[in-house]
Amino acid sequence: MREQLIDLSYLVASILFILCLRGLSSPEQGRRGVLLGELGMLVAVVATLFKAEILSFEWIIVGLLIGGAIGTAISLRLPMTKMPERIAFSHAFGGLATMLVGITEYHKHHPIVHLADAAAPHGALDRLTIGALSFEVFLGSLTFTGSIMAFGKLQGFITGAPVTYKGQNAMNIGAFFVALGLLVYQVIDPAGAPTWAFLAMAGIGLALGVLGVLPIGGADMPVVISLLNSYAGLAACATGFALHSNILIISGALDGSSGFLLSMLMSKAMNRSFANVVFGAFGTGDSGGAPAAGAGGVAKIHNEATVEDAAAVLQASQTVIIVPGYGMAVSQAQHAVRDLCAALEKRGTEVKYAIHPVAGRMPGHMNVLLAEANVPYDQLYDLDMINDDFARTDCVIVVGANDVVNPAAKTDKSSPIYGMPVFDVEQSKSIIVLKRSMNPGFSGVENELFFLPNTMMVLGDAKKTLTALFNEVKGGGGH
Ligand code: NAP
């Protein structure tokens, strides 16, 4: 009876996880989705605590208290811009946990170290179980070190620049096949395969996590993190097969497939092939390039405007589109954007927000920030929904966005961002760009938009400029 109730709870938890993922695919349902996922996790954890295999709770309570305290501190103190780092950190521990669970399970059958008071070994593992355990330990160890590397690159502990050397890909692929060979060896001969083969496979996983992330630029880390998320999910799924746990199989499969789909979607939105992200050594994550120079090295002239100039254009506009980007997140300008838009709407101006799928540094970055500032969802438009509107718009305010409004993606075949879908911002009557300097963005390429005659550059921190614009606009009269 107890086992049946636990299985029923797992079924409920699995349904909640699926509803969570469904909710996360839209900004309106996002919060509800997160809550359903949390509820599903609670149901799964509580049901597991009733399992007959759990003999004492001391260590579980210690783990719960330490993990809960760290998780609460992180969620209270961490700014939104640090979310990719936080996710990388969580995946690292997810990978470590999976690896340790797998090694412990293996140790029960093939003792790795001989302890004086150890119980007698359980006998050789069957082929399916050793296969699942090996897969779990290999992916878990790779996820652990790979995520630590991703975290280090984003935090700047490790250079964000791609580290490449001759024969790198051949060496990594070779190491992968050696690990695969060791895995197959254990499946073919579970009783005879030596312990070193299992441990060597885990060691290669740890090394590949480091070596595989080294050649990838810091700026591509969000895609890598979502790929590692997928590995962590697959490792958990394999753990489910090894431990005969349905909830781990289902939740691991959901995690693995959703992480993989997300990586594919992010690559597609950047118009990069998956292979190009993983082997391409693109992007350093720095936005500190030199100001643009035209042909022959002559510096191009941009039209630098004051807040008063920009406010005058806004006051004369009947339609305005806001294009937020990574700089809005850095400046935490989302509330100031909302205030300015409210002041414009009060004057009878129609305001829309154009949300690019890869604006910022993680999927949904702009949606999360604007939702936090209570911007109504029905004012947020996807690229496909709004791109035709720019030609009919009086003024576009680009708030800390750069690559997602770079016309080179449409016109310059030699540009690293060529082919990435971008907003047709240049077609609107006037453009106000808010950023601190003429430096390039994520991809490191210059932006012709900033030098067009209908573009006004208002340089400075986006939040400060928006607050000054708000004061000007609210003080002015109606159309
Ligand atoms: P971006 O190209 O990185 O440009 C951001 C701009 O914000 C910079 O040019 C910077 O210029 C400005 N900025 C920084 N701090 C600011 C502040 N305090 N006030 C005002 N401006 C500030 O950003 P994006 O247009 O959002 O494009 C996102 C890029 O990230 C794309 O290339 C995308 O492929 C990539 N990416 C996105 C994801 C994702 O999931 N969203 C994942 C991986 C990669 P200044 O330094 O001059 O101020």
State the DSSP string of 144-196: HHHHHHHHHHHHTSS-SS----TTHHHHHHHHHHHHHHHHHHHHH-TTTS-HH
Contact of 432 with 458, CB cutoff 8 Å: yes
Question: What integer pLDDT is reported at residue 120 of this predicted model?
Answer: 62
Residue nearest to atom 47 of ligand 1 (CA): 437
> What's residue 286's pLDDT?
42
Cβ contacts of 385 within 8 Å, gap of 6 or more: none
Specify the pTM: 0.78
Residue 423 Cβ < 6 Å to ligand 1: no
Q: Is ligand 1 within 6 A of the CB of residue 10? A: no
**How much is the pLDDT for 299?**
66
CA of 442 to the centre of ligand 1 (A): 6
> Is 125's C-beta closer than 6 angstroms to any atom of ligand 1?
no
Residue 297: what pLDDT? 55
Q: Profile the chain (479 residues) by mean pLDDT over runs of 10 residues.
A: 91 96 85 95 94 89 93 85 84 92 90 68 81 94 94 84 86 94 93 90 96 81 84 91 90 93 84 70 45 56 94 96 96 96 95 93 86 90 94 97 94 83 95 95 89 96 97 74
Instruction: Point out the residues that are catalytic.
Output: 403
- The confidence score (pLDDT) of residue 430 equals 97
Which pLDDT belongs to residue 118? 62
Task: Report how far ligand 1's centroid is from the alpha carbon of 328 (Å).
Answer: 8
Interatomic CA distance for residues 273 and 391, integer angstroms: 31
pLDDT for position 31:
87
Q: Whole-angstrom Cα distance, residue 240 to residue 340?
A: 51
